[in-house]
Structure 1
Amino acid sequence: MGRTGKSQAKQGGRIRRLFTWKKLLGTFFVGCLLVMGALYTVYVMVPVPTANADATLQSNVYKYSNGKVMARTGRINREIVGLDQVPQDVQKAFVAAENKTFYKDNGVDIKGTVRAAWNTLTGKAKQGGSTITQQYVKNYYLSQDQTATRKLKEMVIAIKVDENMSKPEILAGYMNTSYYGRNAYGIQAAAQAYYGVDASRLNVAQGAYLASLLQAPSQYDWTSASPEGRKLVEQRWNYVLDNMVGENWLDAGKRAGMKFPVPQKPKAPKGMSGQSGYIVEAANQELMRQGVSEEDLKAGGWTITLNIDEKKQKALVKAVDDELEDKLDRKGSKKQAGVQAGATSVDPKTGAVVALYGGIGATEHWTNNATRRDYQPASTFKPLVLASAIDNDAETQDGRKIGLGTIYDGTSKRPVVGSSVPFAPENEDNQSYGPVSVQKATNSSINSVYAQMIVDVSPTKVKQTAIGLGMKDGVDFGATPSMSLGVMGASTMDMAGAYATLDNHGVKVTPTLVKSAEHKDRKAEPVKSIGDRVISREAADTTTKAMQGVVQSGSGFRAAGDYAAAGKTGTSENNRSAWFVGYTPELVTAVGLFGEDAKGNQVTLTDTINPGRANGGRTPAQIWGAYTTAALGGGSDAGFDLQTDGTSGGDGTAPTPTQTTGSPTPTTTPSDEATTPTQPPTSTATTPTQPPTSTATTPTEPPPTKTDEPTTEPPPDGNGALDGQ
């Protein structure tokens, strides 16, 4: 052997000694230990992070009282539901589609994850290969980026999540965080988007389709898919069901009879346009008053069931459209464009707000005309003066108890007597009535009578009664004689609440929009809508009887229909607002019209809806009548059960309190010193010596013909040109 041969042999021997099988095996084990150590280090060093920003975002869902969805709010259309709200076979469909070994594995698929990472690193097509736990981790904790680093984190976190969470918790998280297309995140939103039902009502065929969607939501949406896409999703759907049969989760016979569940066509998201925006905002304000923070509402996740009755809501919108909107030219007339309508309808037995009209649309006019308090309620406040008079057993200046038959001087511009604050209001058209009963003064809304009555009761006591009935105090709510004409601010919801309390025989009614509000792990306390008695039944029922006359033979005759009704008209200072507030035994509704220019300033309604004054006895009463007729199904046989003097009249014809005869002027000063002079005036200032023979229940003139356009001049609304009327 030559020198070269010997050298090569020597070198080969050296290599064999270097790479013996013992050394190779040792190196392999050391390498494994290093890899295991590295993986352990990664396991220890990679914590389970907090949820990513989008994973916890939800929409708030607002439902009608019948459970039908009215609106959803929030950037992410998601409503997280517990696994107990998803049928068992639908749960199994998702497992069969994505991870048959889910209930047995430790949260990771090493082989699939390595394959996916290798394909990503080598530039091949990106793919999944993840377990349900890994997909949940990706959705909830990480991002959707397909990188090797993210994949490694996903695997480590999935192992930790599997150790610390139950399988049902992981499955629920996966189903709630996944994207299904149609802007639907989570199984509940997907069930609504594709089948128009809650997740709890999905069947197994529908569940298998939704599970199939997760592979390619856009491509597999049946209504927009190409023929190839439809073919693929049907194949995927069959694959899911076959897997369920293979795992003994679905009976083969039942599987054989299944047909592909074609989803409904996509619908526009139920958002904030139309009346929904007004109702949602008002409901949110109510919830915040109950202690739910604005931040909590913005975070989403609330299911809010409203008291809004879908049929009554549609009836109210139609009434406004028919009686107002269809008669206005908003685009061609600046004056008519400034007419705003607002309304609130309440069930007096429960306090539920069953319908609300906030304006032409929340996206066109955001201010809610149903809840705004910047307009005067005008003469709709007068019944509260009467209620306070009866409740306080008030007397006239010469000592006569005030009732419906009590006679007052109805002379226009007559100065009030007994007040330290001068006030001499003008009646509508400056008409003087002479001696009139309280009933007649209510029917015709005579300002001079009610100005004197509030002095007789005392403005302070009247204000207390009004606030007790539900009106809100404010800087413009001064206890002065002018308060009798409704010069404070009030909303249609305020007035509906006050009148609902009268309808409920003096037991407090608080209008309530929210029936229930539930989050995944908590509930909001609802408003107590029925409270304690705030005025006597006699006071409430007597006021109801007086307002029946307004509808039967007074300024509110256009609101009459096939039902028993009580109500009051009102028109404010400079005709800036016009009202009709009234009720039947079953329903209370306040309707207001407001003049507002493009800059939000209050303007007159004169020569807008109709030539001349737009008083409350015209369009507001017509809207009220049209809505009430529809809301009551055409009419109602229910009658008022009134106790006006200790007796009951189920037909609403309880006797009017007997008028007392004239008596000497009281020698003691009334208790309300702020509105009473030191020396009381003589009795002739407010009361004629001999009252007229007509009673409060029989008007001297026949009621007007109930037509849309009466042949005779309608009864006066009682609100003249004087400010505050």
Structure 2
Amino acid sequence: MSARFRLPNGRMGSVLSFLGLSVVAGILATVAVTPAIALTGVAANSSIGMFEELPTFLRVDNLPQKTTIYAHRTIDGNDQNVPIASFYAENRENVTWDQIAQVVKDAAVAAEDPRYYEHGGVDPLGVVRAAISNVMGGDVQGASTITQQYVKNVLVAQATGLATEEERDAAYEEATSVSFDRKLKEMRYAIALEKQFSKDDILLGYLNIALFGGRVYGIQAAAQYYYGVNASDLNINQAASLIAIVNNPANLRLDMPDDPDNGAANGYALTKARRDYVIDSMLTHKLIDQQTHDDAIAAPIEPSIHDAPVGCTAAGNAGFFCDYVVNTIRNDPVFGETAEERYSNFIRGGFDVYTSLDLDMQDVAQQAIDENIPKTRFDGVDLASAASAVEAGTGRIKVMAQNKDFNDSGDAAAAGENFSAVNYNADSDYGSSSGFQAASTYKVFTLIAWLRAGHTLGESFNISPKTYNQADFKACDATYTGEYQVANDANERGTRTVMQSTATSINGGFMQMGQQLDQCDIRKAATDLGVHRADGAPLEDKPSAILGTNEVAPLTMAAAYAGIANHGLFCTPVAIDRMVKPDGTDAAIPASLCSQAIEAPIADAAAYALRGVIEGGSATASNPYDGVEHIAKTGTSDGNTTTWTTGASSKVGLSVLVGQASLPAGLDEYANLRALDLDSGSAATARHRIWLPIMEAIDARLGGDDFVTPDSKYIRGVQVAVPDVTGQTLEQAKAVIEGAGFTFQDGGTRASDATAGLVIAMDPAGGTQTGKGATITVYTSDGSQAGATMPNLTGQRSDVALQALAAAGVDTSKVTVAYTATGATVANTCVVAATDPAPGAKATISSPITLTLYSPTGAVPPTGCPQ
């Protein structure tokens, strides 16, 4: 770009300009007219001394370049890295000298600096011509050589790369200010630069750094943007048109066809005029012949704009994963001190960012979601579905898909209901989601804490629905009060083992386990496997957390289950495999942190229980039955508003969520997914229809090993005989059971002929072999079936008979009276003729009893008969 700058208007300004440039010309006449003198650094006078005192070292940094994110795809049977998104502050791709057509180099020199290969960085003749022109026309010309323009562009590039806006503005003003001081410094730098680099190197740098309009920098990006070709393939018309833009990038750019001054309608008149000047200059300096000149002049300017998409919106179904990568760079201190600095380095650094995403698996995941979950509201319900897959042993994220199209324009809703910038798979800091209730997928951490405490999968307890006193739970950080009512999804009742409770996700079983544990231990099992709330708050440890009230991200749960599947070796999820600088060296990246989070025998025992979930339990519908063993756990939140299937093969952990992004239209509570029928089936079971094909694709690619069978002590444990406490009082039974190492539970009363308050039944029964610590439920008699012998009441008046029954312990409210005329006289009226049961018969104290009384009137009760 030919530099222009203005001094004060009017003749005085022109005179001052003339004098200033004359001083420069005088200096240069002594210092820079010939390279021999310019290189000596000898000051002939005070003016030369002043010039020599200016700074000479110009740091030529790496130019801002485009950063590209890659993901894996199998092409022709080979795993290849393919680009999914690019980022840049300046759309630039540096090229070498041989990658630029000679016609471009000739056009640049002819138009911008014909004496380029003759002067030493500053052209004294050009300075003199500019001084005279300034006096004559009053318009200040800078007489900038290609080297000087390169210097200015380097200073501008350095300014835009500074960390803060204040620093950038100050440096940019210094680099572009219209002043004699700036021009003098620029010349000094130019002379010094020519001592450091060859002419070809400087011209190459100039062509790589020059602005070609908008955010297009460098000849390669310009060639691709305006003509869809490489810089090496530009013809004379194209080359001259691009070099023309450099003269005034804002006004001569070729991507504004509707511009009335320089658009398609007038053949890009302004650019054409400058292009023709470039071509004329090439002819003048004998760089082309007359015929080539004439043909080029006659040719129209016909740009073919090829946009270079920027950002994650261009990443297709990998858009949310791409955004996760960008947020990783914003958040991780390995990339810089502040988020602003990290992102600036990222978009200017020209990195090749190779990620862990497998696009083949990603396509399967996206298809599974799209076939089951709509992108827009369905019957008013704003569904949110997500799937994350994490590789066991490495933490590499293989899949990250959801039921929205990525748009981070700041107003995604305006673009359409199908667009969003919220990543349902990730935490708030990595995608703006506050997470979803983990529901029963969180129960696995109670299971792990249970096994760590020495309990077994074979222990059993009464899992019937129950109202719990929260004060009975050991709370690590607080004491909770009040009641907590727990029901089972299928209303299961009775006794179940831990294994059974896990397989069908029985709430009562896990509450019984949790009541015997410290809630701190459950929370620790979760945090050991990297589980945390998506909003950054501490994990809750109240009793309801046992059933999964903490709100988490699918990515978090996928990584946790991958750790369980990998014998307790947990690796934090990572998205970046490698990050390469423009010079081919590796940049530092955040590494996955792997640790033995759960003791291997404990993890294997938990996995054994989780196999029962997908092999006949609540996750059976998710099982691909493809020859690879899996573990899994389902989850359904209160009100059936959110559902999950989270599990793993030995190779990959996979978590699938189907929830709701916002409240249904016009309602103040979330929808019941069991009442929502989608085109593909029930919304509540869509998790299975999504999880299965994704895991099937993962298995096809990676295979999987069988899970180990844990030591029998974790399955059955030490079997102990249950003490028989029948016939004892409730207090006596409790003391005996707890003394034997079991957990006591009062099952309430049952109708019995035993004395009220005595134990009449146990579950499991006395003498049964079961795991130590198991819950023993006892039931006591209510005394309602206690036995009594029917006294002989015949010949007694009715009132005397009732008193005798009461004395025998009979509930007299159960006594009915009948009348008979047979044998009745006035004398025996109201006297007992017969009883049912008969005298001497056995009856319970609550059995119905009938007294038949004499009555001369038959069935009609006689008057005055005492009751």
Distance 1:220 1:98 in 2: 16
Q: 1:17 maps to which residue? A: none
Per-residue Cα deviation, 1:624-663 (whole angstroms, up to 9, x for no partner)? 224334555xx4683433222259xxxxxxx993465334
Instruction: Choose the corresponding residue for 1:311, options 354, 360, 369.
Output: 360
Q: 1:40 maps to which residue? A: 48
SS at match of 1:355: strand
Q: How far off is 1:447 after superposition? A: 0.7
Q: 1:535 maps to which residue? A: 598
Q: How far off is 1:511 after superposition? A: 0.5
Q: 1:624 maps to which residue? A: 691
Q: Does 1:486 align with 2:496?
A: no
Instruction: Choose the corresponding residue for 1:270, options 286, 310, 324.
Output: 310
Q: 2:622 maps to which residue? A: 559
Q: How far off is 1:276 after superposition? A: 6.0
C-alpha change, 1:108 and 1:32, in structure 2 (3 Å) is closer
Higher RCO by CA contacts (8 Å cutoff, separation 6 or greater):
1
Q: 1:98 maps to which residue? A: 108
Q: Does 1:329 align with 2:405?
A: no
Distance 2:135 2:673 in 1: 73
Distance 2:692 2:332 in 1: 31
Distance 2:555 2:567 in 1: 19
Distance 2:28 2:474 in 1: 98
Q: Does 1:343 align with 2:387?
A: yes
Distance 1:70 1:661 in 2: 58
Q: 2:397 maps to which residue? A: 353
C-alpha change, 1:601 and 1:639, in structure 2 (3 Å) is farther
Distance 1:68 1:264 in 2: 25
Q: Given the two structures, how large is their TM-score scaled by the length of structure 1?
A: 0.67
Q: 2:504 maps to which residue? A: 444
Distance 1:461 1:428 in 2: 24
C-alpha change, 1:600 and 1:420, in structure 2 (3 Å) is farther
Distance 1:312 1:275 in 2: 15
Q: 2:341 maps to which residue? A: 296
Instruction: Choose the corresponding residue for 1:205, options 229, 233, 246.
Output: 233
Distance 1:125 1:496 in 2: 68
Instruction: Choose the corresponding residue for 1:592, options 637, 657, 663.
Output: 657
Distance 1:601 1:287 in 2: 41
- Whichever residue aligns with residue 381 of structure 1, its letter is Y
Q: Given the two structures, how large is their TM-score scaled by the length of structure 2?
A: 0.58
Q: How far off is 1:231 after superposition? A: 13
SS at match of 1:643: coil
Q: How far off is 1:441 after superposition? A: 1.8
Q: 2:462 maps to which residue? A: 409
Q: Does 1:389 align with 2:433?
A: no
SS at match of 1:351: coil
Q: Does 1:371 align with 2:378?
A: no
Contact 1:596 / 1:602 at 8 angstroms: preserved in 2? no
Structure 1 segment 59-78 matched on structure 2, within 5 A:
60-65=67-72, 67-73=81-87, 76-78=89-91
C-alpha change, 1:324 and 1:138, in structure 2 (3 Å) is same
Per-residue Cα deviation, 1:264-285 (whole angstroms, up to 9, x for no partner)? 8513523243536632443234
Per-residue Cα deviation, 1:448-471 (whole angstroms, up to 9, x for no partner)? 111222344543222222111111
Distance 1:545 1:211 in 2: 72
Q: 1:86 maps to which residue? A: 96
Per-residue Cα deviation, 1:483-542 (whole angstroms, up to 9, x for no partner)? 321222321121111111112221121100222345569965333325122223333233
Instruction: Choose the corresponding residue for 2:147, options 106, 117, 133.
Output: 133
Distance 1:684 1:244 in 2: 105
Q: Does 1:570 align with 2:635?
A: yes
Distance 2:91 2:768 in 1: 70
Structure 2 gap segments, 5+ residues each: 1-21, 31-44, 73-79, 157-174, 258-263, 289-301, 314-318, 413-419, 428-433, 476-480, 724-736, 747-762, 770-867
Contact 2:335 / 2:342 at 8 angstroms: preserved in 1? no
Contact 1:470 / 1:498 at 8 angstroms: preserved in 2? yes
Distance 1:98 1:204 in 2: 15
Contact 1:476 / 1:487 at 8 angstroms: preserved in 2? no
Q: How far off is 1:379 after superposition? A: 0.7
SS at match of 1:529: coil
SS at match of 2:51: helix
Q: Which moved more, 1:128-137 or 1:94-103?
A: 94-103
SS at match of 2:320: helix
Structure 1 gap segments, 5+ residues each: 1-27, 247-261, 396-401, 648-654, 666-676, 694-725
Q: 1:426 maps to which residue? A: 486
C-alpha change, 1:549 and 1:429, in structure 2 (3 Å) is closer
Contact 2:356 / 2:398 at 8 angstroms: preserved in 1? yes
- Whichever residue aligns with residue 269 of structure 1, its letter is P
C-alpha change, 1:140 and 1:691, in structure 2 (3 Å) is farther
Distance 1:238 1:583 in 2: 70
Q: 1:215 maps to which residue? A: 244
C-alpha change, 1:86 and 1:664, in structure 2 (3 Å) is farther
Contact 2:554 / 2:657 at 8 angstroms: preserved in 1? yes
Per-residue Cα deviation, 1:230-263 (whole angstroms, up to 9, x for no partner)? 99989989999xx9999xxxxxxxxxxxxxxx99
Distance 1:196 1:505 in 2: 53
Distance 1:237 1:486 in 2: 73
Q: Which moved more, 1:511-520 or 1:272-281?
A: 272-281
Contact 2:462 / 2:493 at 8 angstroms: preserved in 1? yes
Q: How far off is 1:440 after superposition? A: 2.7
Q: 2:41 maps to which residue? A: none
Q: Which moved more, 1:175-184 or 1:86-95?
A: 86-95
Q: 1:688 maps to which residue? A: 764
- Whichever residue aligns with residue 98 of structure 1, its letter is A
Distance 2:437 2:202 in 1: 57
Q: Provide the alpha-carbon RMSD of the alignment.
A: 5.3
Q: 2:793 maps to which residue? A: none
Contact 1:351 / 1:509 at 8 angstroms: preserved in 2? yes
Distance 1:185 1:351 in 2: 38
Contact 1:412 / 1:430 at 8 angstroms: preserved in 2? no
The structure with the largest strand share of the pair is 2
Contact 2:101 / 2:233 at 8 angstroms: preserved in 1? no
Distance 1:554 1:207 in 2: 69
SS at match of 1:535: coil
Distance 1:312 1:357 in 2: 10
Q: Which moved more, 1:450-459 or 1:508-517?
A: 450-459
Contact 1:406 / 1:660 at 8 angstroms: preserved in 2? no
Q: Does 1:183 align with 2:227?
A: no
SS at match of 1:345: strand
C-alpha change, 1:137 and 1:542, in structure 2 (3 Å) is same
Q: 1:495 maps to which residue? A: 557
Distance 1:520 1:292 in 2: 22
Distance 2:133 2:570 in 1: 71
Per-residue Cα deviation, 1:149-193 (whole angstroms, up to 9, x for no partner)? 876654343113334567687456434422245732246755775
- Whichever residue aligns with residue 378 of structure 1, its letter is A
